[in-house]
């Protein structure tokens, strides 16, 4: 074990704010970390960087303006995790329930001033200790403000929020969100690889059409499509 690893294993609070860091890779080397403050950096996604961090209690990723996606199992099975903050991550559009799967101590998720469009009711199933989802300044575009939010009383939202409670119907559907896609020009007959990432609840079905409206690609969930 290197001297750096020895030091990392003794750190309980780490503040890496304002450093233009574009990746969380290697953060799990800080095995005993309890609090990570990672404000105002340049990450675009959170994937499975927090694996095997049993002491981690708080993650503050606020003001990461390039952050668009929190992937499935991003905060998987973190037994001590209590709070996650994404305040002012203005491009963040989706936070799925699988992102915090089996983090049973999680009490608070702050999504204020993000571009979140929908939330899954399964958040409260996977995180039984969840007591607060903070959505200040968020305009949801799905059925999330229906029974499950009001009955569980985990959502904090001011009365003057722009969401219109009266127009929301009680369904289990969150409108699909297109996170990323490729725009490619090719010659006729050439094989191409098209990346399309779309998220929603239930799982999104992606179809690719040619100019004559014929289906040339089909898949459910997150997609990388190959077509001729």
Average pLDDT on 20-44 reads: 94
CA-to-CA distance for 159 and 174, rounded, in angstroms? 22
Is residue 78 predicted with pLDDT exceeding 80? Answer: yes
Any idea where the domains of the chain sit in the sequence?
1-171, 174-227
Q: Express each pLDDT in 37-54 by its tens digit.
A: 999 999 999 988 998 899
pTM: 0.68
Max avg pLDDT among 100-104, 154-158, 188-192, 193-197: 100-104
CA-to-CA distance for 123 and 154, rounded, in angstroms? 10
Average pLDDT on 178-195 reads: 67
| Coil, helix or strand at residue 100 | helix
The distance between the two most distant Cα atoms of the chain, rounded to a whole number of Å, is 62
Is residue 218 predicted with pLDDT exceeding 60? Answer: yes
Q: Which CATH superfamily is domain 1-171 in?
A: Ribonuclease Inhibitor (3.80.10.10)
Q: Identify the band that residue 181 occupies on the pLDDT scale cut at 50, 70 and 90.
A: low
Which DSSP string corresponds to 133-199? EE-TT----SSTTSHHHHHHT-EE--TT-S--GGG----S-EEEEEEEE------TT--EEEEEEEE
Is residue 66 predicted with pLDDT exceeding 90? Answer: yes
């Amino acid at each position: 074990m290197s001297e750096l690893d020895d030091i990392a294993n003794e750190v309980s609070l780490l503040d890496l704010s304002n450093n233009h860091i574009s990746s969380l890779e290697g953060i799990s080397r800080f095995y005993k970390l309890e609090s990570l403050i990672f404000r105002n950096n340049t990450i675009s996604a959170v994937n499975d960087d927090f694996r095997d961090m049993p002491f981690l209690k708080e993650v503050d990723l606020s003001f990461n303006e390039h952050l668009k996606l929190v992937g499935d199992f991003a905060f998987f099975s973190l037994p001590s995790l209590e709070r996650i903050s994404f305040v002012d991550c203005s491009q963040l559009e989706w936070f799925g329930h699988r992102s915090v799967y089996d983090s049973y101590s999680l009490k608070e998720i702050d999504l204020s001033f993000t571009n979140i469009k929908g939330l899954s009711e399964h958040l409260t199933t996977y995180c039984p200790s969840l007591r607060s989802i903070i959505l200040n300044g968020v305009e949801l575009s799905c059925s999330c403000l229906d029974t499950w939010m009001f009955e569980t009383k985990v959502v904090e939202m001011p009365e003057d929020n722009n969401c219109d409670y009266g127009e929301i119907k009680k369904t289990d559907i969150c409108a699909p969100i297109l996170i990323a896609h490729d725009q490619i020009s090719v010659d006729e007959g050439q094989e191409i690889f098209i990346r399309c990432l779309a998220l929603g609840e239930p799982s999104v079905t992606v179809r690719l059409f040619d100019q004559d409206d014929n289906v040339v690609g089909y898949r459910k969930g997150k997609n990388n499509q190959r077509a001729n």
